[in-house]
Amino acid sequence: MALDPEVLKKLQIFMAAAILIAGGRAAYVVYERHEAALDRTPKQETALKADYYVTPKKLYPYDLKSARQLMEQPVWVKVGYQITYYPYDAARKKTDFAHEAGTLLPLQKLAIEDVVTGVSAQAPGVKQVLAVFSLEGKSYAVPIGAEKDGEFKIRSDDMFFVQDPHELYRHWPAEVWQKVDAHEVQAGMSELQCSFAIGLGIPEGSGDYGSRTLHYANGGKPLVISFEDDKAVEIKAGA
C-alpha cells in the first residue's frame, strides 16, 4: 500500500532531522574528548619547551685569529666553579701556571682583552691557548684550548656565551633571574636554571634529566638538589 504523500514528506523530514542530530552529537563528543586531552597537558610544558628553542651563538674558532673574536663582545661563563684561571703578566706576556688564581663564577661576565699562547710545565710539548682578562685591575689568563704541531683545538664555545643569557632566556620569570644572579637556588627552578646559579651538579645514582638528584660543589658551599619533572623539589646542604 502506497504511503500518503503528506505522510511520506513528514517521514523524510524526521529522518533528516535525526541524521543531523546524530551527526551533531558525534561532533560534540569528539570536541569534548579533544578539550579533555588539552586539559591533561601540563601547564608548565609550554614554558619548559621555550628553553629548547634557545640557540646560543657560537664562534667556532680554529686558530688564534679566529679565537680573537672573543674580544669583540663580552662573554659569560657557562660552567661555573669549574674553570681555573691564572695570574698573567701582560708586559712579559707570560702566564703563571704555578699559582692558581681562582675559578670562574657561574655566568661571570668577562671582557676578553687578548688571546695568546703559553706553555705549562705540566705539559711542555703543548701550547696552551689562553684568553686574557682583567679583574680588579689585575690581569689573568684562562685556558680555552691547546695547539700542538700547528693544530688547534679550542673549546671556548663550550665555556662561554657570547650573548647575554638574560636575553637568551628572557622568558624566565624575574624572580628566577634574581636568584640566578645572586648565585642562589629555590624550589621550582629547573636543572638549567640551577646550573646557571651554582654551577654543574654531579648525578647521584641513576635517573633521567630533570628527574634525579644532583650534588653541587657550589664554590665550597655544597648542596644536594632533587628534581622531579625538571623542578627542584628538595634542596639541602651537602657534605
Do residues 156 and 144 make contact, with C-beta atoms less than 8 angstroms apart?
yes
Which pLDDT does position 239 carry in this prediction? 86
Query: At CA 174, angle to CA 171 and CA 175, rounded to 5?
Result: 125
Which pLDDT does position 47 carry in this prediction? 52
Instruction: Locate the domains of the chain by residue range.
Output: 64-161, 172-237
Read off the amino acid at residue 212.
Answer: R
| C-alpha cell of residue 91 | 708586559
Class of 64-161 per CATH? Answer: mainly beta
Q: From CA 239, how far away is CA 11, in angstroms rounded?
A: 83
Do residues 82 and 103 make contact, with C-beta atoms less than 8 angstroms apart?
yes
The closest of 139, 143, 133, 131 to 89, measured between CA atoms, is 139
Contacts of 86 (CB under 8 A, 6+ apart): 95, 96, 97, 99, 100, 101, 140, 141, 142
| C-alpha cell of residue 220 | 665550597
**How many Cα neighbours within 13 Å face the side chain of 218?**
21
Give SS3 for 98.
coil
What does each of the 239 residues of the chain score in pLDDT, given as a tens digit? 444 555 444 445 545 444 444 444 444 444 444 444 444 444 445 556 899 999 999 999 999 999 999 999 999 999 999 999 999 999 999 999 999 999 999 999 999 999 999 998 888 889 999 999 999 999 999 999 999 988 999 999 999 999 999 999 999 999 999 999 999 999 999 999 999 999 999 999 888 999 999 999 999 999 999 999 999 999 999 98
Which pLDDT does position 12 carry in this prediction? 52
Sign of CA dihedral 237, 100, 136, 69: negative
**Which string of b and e fits 50-87 if b means at least 16 CB within 10 Å?**
eeeeeeeeebebeebeebbebeeeebbbbbbbebebbb
